[in-house]
């Protein structure tokens, strides 16, 4: 149990660092108020969680490794709370249209989870070709 907690903590630290780095990239190239960084990491994370889950679902993968990746890395890489806060702040600031667009775009993440799952099935059918 202690090992699993330690792995989740390490994975969480790594996921948070990846998030910090990757979410900052769009802001370096845009002066827009739109939260592109959060959108980017959440959509990427949605695809990755679907892809990795699909790739590991029927494999004998250590529960420790799954905890590290899914609970640690990916869960700290994406964040619903930041999305909710940024949406509320856009509405508070009178940016209702931008908030609506942001909320719609962020929900593309659900579609990307399915895209990741489908991709994993395709990759699995390639066998050892990868």
CA–CA gap between residue 20 and residue 41 (Å, rounded):
9
Give tens-digit pLDDT for 38-65: 899 989 988 998 898 888 888 888 999 9
C-alpha distances (whole Å) from 21 to each of 16, 17, 38, 84 are 9, 6, 11, 20
Judged by DSSP in three states, 8 sits in: helix
Note whether residue 106 is domain-resident. Answer: yes
Largest CA distance in the chain: 53
Note whether residue 97 is domain-resident. Answer: yes
pLDDT tops 60 at residue 128: no
pLDDT tops 50 at residue 130: no
Question: What is the count of structural domains for the chain?
Answer: 1
- Dihedral, 42, 28, 86, 82 alpha carbons, nearest 10: 40
> Which pLDDT score is estimated for 81?
72
pTM here is 0.75
Residues in the chain: 130
- Chain centroid, CA 12 distance in Å: 12
> Which pLDDT score is estimated for 127?
64
Section 8-36 average pLDDT: 92
Note whether residue 129 is domain-resident. Answer: no
Q: Which secondary-structure segment (H or E) carries 70?
A: none
Note whether residue 40 is domain-resident. Answer: yes
Note whether residue 130 is domain-resident. Answer: no
The residue segments making up the domain with residue 22 are: 2-27+35-124
């Amino acid at each position: 149990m202690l090992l699993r907690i330690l792995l989740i903590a390490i994975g969480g630290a790594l996921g948070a660092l990846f998030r910090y780095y990757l979410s900052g990239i769009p802001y370096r190239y845009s002066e827009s108020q739109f939260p592109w960084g959060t959108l980017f990491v959440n959509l990427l994370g949605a695809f990755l969680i679907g892809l990795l889950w699909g790739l590991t679902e029927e494999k004998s993968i250590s529960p420790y490794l799954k905890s590290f990746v899914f609970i640690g890395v990916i869960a700290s890489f994406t964040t619903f709370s930041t999305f909710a806060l940024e949406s509320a702040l856009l509405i508070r600031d009178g940016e209702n249209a931008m908030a609506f667009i942001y909320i719609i775009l962020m929900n593309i993440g659900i579609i990307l989870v399915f895209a990741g799952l489908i991709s994993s099935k395709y990759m699995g059918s390639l066998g050892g070709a990868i």
